[in-house]
Structures are given as structure tokens and as C-alpha cells.
Chain A
């Protein structure tokens, strides 16, 4: 039976690069996926784009691609990523320029159409709390989760590098699998199987022991050189998960089970733009050094797509001070009472973290008023000379907060667009 090998080279925006390089050079991959776009990341990226129209894609993209595209080109591995974030076209141009610089002819295709800020009804209630979207705060972004059908349009152009904004994470894997294996997008069984593979791979090292070690209980070998996973997927949808020989980490029934249920709120109905996945009959078996998974089931794809709406929620302050030695917890608690009294009426959270003799008072608050935030920071800092004995190590951090609310949008209001990015200096 025909099989294809797909790897995951990043499971979040800050992920390590070396394991992906290793996969490109040694794994014989057909496709490599770099999943780098968290729920909030795209709203933050949108703020950067508003400040600079050439920005708004993953700021690590140039560094990541500078290391990964040369081996991808050399080994003929197709690369798919959501590092386009809030500005996939700008990401495509940067990528094109990088490929031109190294003399690679690899084709770059960009998927847009996930930005639906103009389409959604801001008077609709957020599904988290029922409050109308516009009442959450100034809305800065609204991105629909596109599916494998949008990515397939990019693959049909013959692209070697596909860059998207918001797409469902498993769709980044399902689309290339379906393209390689000739799956019909209307076939629920293979769509469910490919979605399962994507769901398992999308967090990269979390499948191969990167979030598993518990010394003495679950020991993971050579975590410093954690390897990332790949899957050999057969045309019938069964998959064998593996990682490269010589890499650290562990891939086992235990690690795969953890990832299988990760973030699944209903094992009978995990909704993606492509399918409603049912994992209850999935089997996970260790087999010849890898792990075999089968048994994904599903129901046809939903009529509506999820939309993440980003809004300005103010700024968050986190201010801390340490107390150690005898009676440290009591001194930290006293410090918390003092700050709370001095800031009476301000909504804040004061808590003592750590043990009896080594602990840290932490004060946190979110506000849209800078004066309130500054007052909190000042009161924690002034504990140095206006609080209990022996306080030290004050740190104050203030950062902008983007809230996320969710809503749904009818599928027919979302129009994915694919753009093939030509060399900047190419004559029209």
C-alpha cells in the first residue's frame, strides 16, 4: 500500500529548530509542518501589522527558515507552516527573497482569507461567556480557522512552501497527506484518519517525551537532544509514528495516549473545519520501535467555522518579592496584606508562592489605567523599606493583554485565496 512520511518540526512559535533540521536531513520526509501560531499569537501579530504594514508575520520566521529551507530544498521536502500569522503575504515575500538569495527555485504559495473582521457580527455573543463581542473591548482581529480545503488549493499550484495565517492545526497535516495519498476530501474515514495524525503530530516534541518526564516515575532518556516525530501514513489512513534513531526522548503508547486526548473536550466529537473526529475507537500499539495508531472515525465537517476574535483587554502587571528563612511565609503574607491595604479598592490578586522558608509574594492585576498599574508596581517595590524584614528580589513586569473571544461564522462567508509569490525582481 502507498505510504507517505510527514514530520512535525515545530509545535509552537518558540520551538527549537535543531530537531526540525535533523528531520529534514535524515528522515526522508515528503512533508514537514511547522505549527507556530497560538490562539493569541495572531492577535499580537495583528497589532504589529497595524503599526507596520510589512510586519505581522511570525517574527521568528526569517531565522527559522534561514536554517530550515536550505536542507528542505536540498532534500526535496515540502514545507507547510502557519507562520504567516496576521500577514501571510508579507511572510511569503520574505520567504521568496530568502529562497532567491540561496538560488532555490522552490515555489511559494500563500493562503489568505482567514481574516474575517469585516464579515463577523460584533453584536453576536461570545461563546465563552454570552457577552456580545464588541463589549469585550476594542476588537483588533478576527480570524476564521480555515481547513484542509484551503491548503489543498495551495498544494495544487505545485508549491514547495505553503504559508498560511490561521488554519486549524490538524489541517496543516491533513492537506498534504490527502494530496500525497489521493484522498477524496469528501471521504470521512480518511479525513478522520489524517486529522488524527495531525492532532498527534501538531505539538511536535510533546509526542516524543517533551512534556512527560517525572524523574523516578517516568524517566525520559537524553531529553536535552529531544527528537521530533514523524508519521508513515498509509493510503487506508493507518499510521506508524516514529522518531529518528539517535535522538533523545521517548515515543510510546504512554506518550501517544497523552497527546491523543490533549485539549479534546469531547472524545466523540472533536470539531475541526474538515471533520468531526471521534477518537473513542482509536487504538495505540507499540510496534517495531514505533507506535501504530488506527481506528479514527468521524462525521462530516461542520457547516460553520470557529473564529477567534482578539480584543484589547488592558495591561497586566505582575510584581513579586522574595522572603526566605525562618517565618518567611508569614512575612510574605504580611507583605501581601500591606500592599492590599495600601491599594484598597483596587482589584488585584495577591498570593504567596513557594514553601514555608522560601517563598515569593506575587501581586497581579489587569487594568486599562496606567496609573493603577504603576501604583501597584510602586507599592510592591516600596516593600523594600516599608514592609516586613528581609524582602528581596523585586521584579515588576507590565505587558499588554489581548483577550480572545470565540464565535462561529457560516462557511460560505469565508473565501480562502491562494497567491503564488513570484520573485520580487521578476519582470511581469
Chain B
């Protein structure tokens, strides 16, 4: 299963810092995401694109995990050579993160 099956994500940028906000489709999955989508895993998954530190902020009232990624390799918008100068597509790259847990979308009916 990919993170894309469980959550949506939005990227933002400020200079060569990228922000990535991850939200579960179903709010009860927030603890699962908090456990699985760590700053370390995000940094590893985006290693080709993020050279610096990844800081995770947890926002339980929003059921959100907010990642602040420093030293985006192609960052800086104005002088980047990347096709996507803003790094907007980092959100979709993050959603390709494998989530290695059994997950049942709905409670099973008793049989």
C-alpha cells in the first residue's frame, strides 16, 4: 500500500525550503500515519530531492503531519534548473511512500 491510498498531501515552498502537509482521508488513521510517516522516512524517501534536515510538526486538531524540508535540491524557484521550479510535485512524490501495514478501510461485519 502507498501513502496515496490513505492520505492527501500539499506542497508549498519558501525559497529552498519545501513544506509538505499530509492529511489522512479518514481521521482515525492519524495515529497510524503518525507512527509510519516519520521525519526520518520522509527524508530517506525524498533523499534525491532534499539535502537538508526534515522537521515534522504534528497538528492533532487538524489531523495533520506537516514536514518542513530544508535545502531542497532544485529549490529556490527563481534560479532552479528543474522543470518544476517550485517543487510542487514533491507532494505526489511523497505520496508514493510505501506504508507497510495491514489496513482495513471499514470495520468488518461480524459473521
Instruction: Using CB atoms and an 8 Å cutoff, list the residues of chain A in contact with chain B.
Output: 39-40, 128, 211-212, 214, 217-218, 254, 257-267, 279-284, 295, 313, 316, 348-349, 353, 362, 364-366, 401-404, 406
CA distance A128 to B16 in the complex (A): 8
- Specify which chain A residues have a CB less than 8 angstroms from the CB of B25 in the assembled complex: 217
- Specify which chain A residues have a CB less than 8 angstroms from the CB of B19 in the assembled complex: 261-265
Cross-chain contact A284 with B62 (CB below 8 angstroms)? yes
- Specify which chain B residues have a CB less than 8 angstroms from the CB of A128 in the assembled complex: 15-16, 76
- Specify which chain B residues have a CB less than 8 angstroms from the CB of A267 in the assembled complex: 57, 59, 66
Q: Mark B3-43, 1 if CB is under 8 A from A, else 0.
A: 01000101011111101010101000000000000000000
B61 at the interface (CB under 8 A from A): yes
B78 at the interface (CB under 8 A from A): yes
Cross-chain contact A211 with B10 (CB below 8 angstroms)? yes
Cross-chain contact B68 with A265 (CB below 8 angstroms)? yes
Interface hits, B46-64 → A, CB 8 Å: 57, 59, 61-64
* 21 sample A-B contacts, Cβ–Cβ < 8 Å, listed by A number: A128-B15, A128-B76, A217-B8, A254-B8, A257-B23, A257-B63, A259-B10, A262-B10, A262-B19, A263-B13, A263-B19, A265-B14, A265-B19, A267-B59, A280-B59, A280-B61, A282-B62, A284-B62, A362-B83, A403-B76, A403-B79
Which of B12, B59, B62, B77 makes the CB contact (< 8 A) with A262? B12
- Specify which chain B residues have a CB less than 8 angstroms from the CB of A282 in the assembled complex: 61-62
Which of A214, A257, A364 makes the CB contact (< 8 A) with B64? A257
**Residue of B with least CB distance to A317:** B81
A-B CB pair tally, cutoff 8 Å: 88
CA distance A313 to B17 in the complex (A): 20
Which of B13, B23, B81 makes the CB contact (< 8 A) with A366? B81
Cross-chain contact B16 with A258 (CB below 8 angstroms)? no
CA distance A401 to B77 in the complex (A): 10
CB A316 to nearest CB in B, in angstroms, measures 7
Cross-chain contact A406 with B15 (CB below 8 angstroms)? yes
- Specify which chain B residues have a CB less than 8 angstroms from the CB of A264 in the assembled complex: 12, 19, 66
CA distance A214 to B96 in the complex (A): 14
Cross-chain contact A404 with B62 (CB below 8 angstroms)? no
CB A413 to nearest CB in B, in angstroms, measures 23
CB A372 to nearest CB in B, in angstroms, measures 14
- The interface size bin for chain B is 20 to 34
Among A40, A128, A212, A265, the most chain B Cβ lie within 10 Å of the Cβ of: A265
Q: What are the 3 tightest A-B residue pairs by CB atom distance, in nearest-first order?
A: A263-B12, A258-B10, A261-B21
- Specify which chain B residues have a CB less than 8 angstroms from the CB of A353 in the assembled complex: 83
Among A263, A366, A404, the most chain B Cβ lie within 10 Å of the Cβ of: A263
- Specify which chain B residues have a CB less than 8 angstroms from the CB of A316 in the assembled complex: 81
- Specify which chain A residues have a CB less than 8 angstroms from the CB of B13 in the assembled complex: 263
CA distance A217 to B8 in the complex (A): 9
CA distance A313 to B78 in the complex (A): 9
Cross-chain contact A261 with B77 (CB below 8 angstroms)? no
Cross-chain contact B68 with A266 (CB below 8 angstroms)? yes
14 more A-B residue pairs beyond the given contacts A217-B8, A265-B68, with a C-beta to C-beta distance below 8 A: A39-B78, A128-B76, A254-B8, A254-B23, A258-B8, A258-B23, A261-B64, A264-B12, A267-B59, A283-B61, A313-B79, A362-B83, A364-B83, A403-B76
CA distance A279 to B81 in the complex (A): 34
CA distance A260 to B64 in the complex (A): 11
CB A321 to nearest CB in B, in angstroms, measures 14
Cross-chain contact B78 with A261 (CB below 8 angstroms)? no
- Specify which chain A residues have a CB less than 8 angstroms from the CB of B76 in the assembled complex: 128, 403
Cross-chain contact A261 with B81 (CB below 8 angstroms)? no
- Specify which chain A residues have a CB less than 8 angstroms from the CB of B66 in the assembled complex: 261, 264, 267
CB B12 to nearest CB in A, in angstroms, measures 4
- Specify which chain A residues have a CB less than 8 angstroms from the CB of B15 in the assembled complex: 128, 404, 406
CB A137 to nearest CB in B, in angstroms, measures 10
- Specify which chain A residues have a CB less than 8 angstroms from the CB of B77 in the assembled complex: 39-40, 404
CA distance A259 to B16 in the complex (A): 20
CA distance A218 to B16 in the complex (A): 29
Q: A267-B57, A267-B59, A402-B78 are in contact. Are A214 and B21 (CB under 8 A)?
A: no
CA distance A378 to B82 in the complex (A): 20
Cross-chain contact A260 with B62 (CB below 8 angstroms)? yes
**Residue of B with least CB distance to A203:** B12
Which of A39, A261, A313, A406 makes the CB contact (< 8 A) with B10? A261
CA distance A259 to B13 in the complex (A): 13
CB B13 to nearest CB in A, in angstroms, measures 7
- Specify which chain B residues have a CB less than 8 angstroms from the CB of A212 in the assembled complex: 8
Cross-chain contact B23 with A404 (CB below 8 angstroms)? no
Q: A258-B10, A261-B10 are in contact. Are A401 and B78 (CB under 8 A)?
A: yes
Cross-chain contact A263 with B78 (CB below 8 angstroms)? no
CA distance A329 to B86 in the complex (A): 26
